[in-house]
Amino acid sequence: MTAFAVGLAALLAVACVIAVALPFLREPEATDDRLAEPDELDRRRLELAEERDRVLADLKELEFDHRTGKVSDEDYRALVGPLRARAASALRALEPRAQASNLPRSAAMSEPFPAPAPAPEPFPQPDEGDPPQPPTIPDPEPPPEPFPPPDEGEPGVSRNIR
């Protein structure tokens, strides 16, 4: 029994060593062994993307809370303006040109940024029709599908911020 147990233990140890060595066995001479990490530009971009998602989520929630009556008209009017300004600012900052002019591009980000950054959509007035396009945002290209905020997705409402 002991010899059998020792044999099984040896098998286990060998299997574990193989599992641990697997990355080196698969790529004995890797051309690029660098573990990529977000550089300063990536981190800035991530912060901006989080800010964008956060503000869009806030806008959608504000819209929905206003519809449910949780937010009064006066609160809505006071809150929606600054939120829209922040959303526009975050969207604008995420545009490649804005970033390129603000931050040096790292090696990890050497490729051009993908497809146009989300262009801001015209924001609606809560109880009125579509408002005019914010003048500060030049890119007229169609925006990506507004994604729901973390667990706050309100597609019906998201249509309203176009």
Partner 1 sequence: MPELGRAALVVCLGLALYALFAGGFAAFTRRRRLAVSAQNALIAAFGAAAVASGVLLSALLRNDFSFQYVADHTSIELPTAYTISAFWGGQEGSLLLWLLVLTGFSATAVALNRRVGRDLLAWAVPVLGLVAVFFSFMLVAVSSPFATQAAPPDGAGLNPSLQNPYMMVHPPLLYLGFVGLTVPFAFAMGALLARRSDEAWIVSTRRWTLAAWTFLGVGQLLGAHWAYVEVGWGGYYAWDPVENAALMPWLAATAFLHSVMIQEKRGMLKVWNVLLVVGAFALALFGTFLTRSGIVSSIHSFTESSIGAWFLGFIVLVLAGSLFLVLTRLPLLRAKTRLESLVSREATFLYNNLLLVALCLTILWGVVFPILSEAVRGEQITVGAPYYNFFLKAFGLPLLLLMGIGPLIAWRRASLRSLGRSFIWPAGAALVAGATLLAFGAGSSPAGLIAYTFAAFVLGSIVYEFVRGTRARRALGGGSWLSAFNGLVARNRRRYGGYVVHASIVLLAIGVTGSSAYDTVRQQKLRPGETMAVRDYRLTYRDLEVRQGTNAEELRAHLDVERDGKSLGSIQAGKNDYRAEDQVSNEVGIRSDKLTLEDLFVIAEQVEPTSDQAIHFRVLVKPLVNLIWIAGLVFLAGALVAMWPSLAEQRRLAERYRELRAPARA
The site for partner 1 (CB under 8 A) is made up of 1-2, 4-6, 8-9, 12-13, 15-16, 19-24, 27, 30, 32-38, 42-43, 45-47, 49-51, 53-54, 57-58, 61-62, 64-65, 67-72, 74-75, 78-79, 108-109, 111, 113-114, 117, 144, 147-157
What is the closest distance, in whole angstroms, from the C-beta atom of residue 12 to partner 1 in the complex?
Answer: 6
- CA–CA separation, 129 and 113 (whole Å): 34
Residue whose CB is less far from partner 1, 114 or 132: 114
Residue whose CB is less far from partner 1, 112 or 132: 112
Spatial contact of 94 and 115, defined as CB atoms under 8 Å apart: no
User: Half-sphere exposure (CA, 13 Å, Cβ side) for 76?
Assistant: 19
What is the closest distance, in whole angstroms, from the C-beta atom of residue 154 to partner 1 in the complex?
Answer: 6
The two three-digit tokens of residue 117, written as one number: 């950054």
Residue whose CB is less far from partner 1, 122 or 148: 148
- CA–CA separation, 47 and 99 (whole Å): 12
Q: How far is CA 80 from CA 5, 53, 56, 60, 92, in A?
A: 70, 16, 11, 10, 18
What is the closest distance, in whole angstroms, from the C-beta atom of residue 131 to partner 1 in the complex?
Answer: 19
What is the closest distance, in whole angstroms, from the C-beta atom of residue 136 to partner 1 in the complex?
Answer: 21
- CA–CA separation, 125 and 63 (whole Å): 10
What is the closest distance, in whole angstroms, from the C-beta atom of residue 147 to partner 1 in the complex?
Answer: 4
Residue whose CB is less far from partner 1, 104 or 114: 114
The two three-digit tokens of residue 7, written as one number: 């044999």
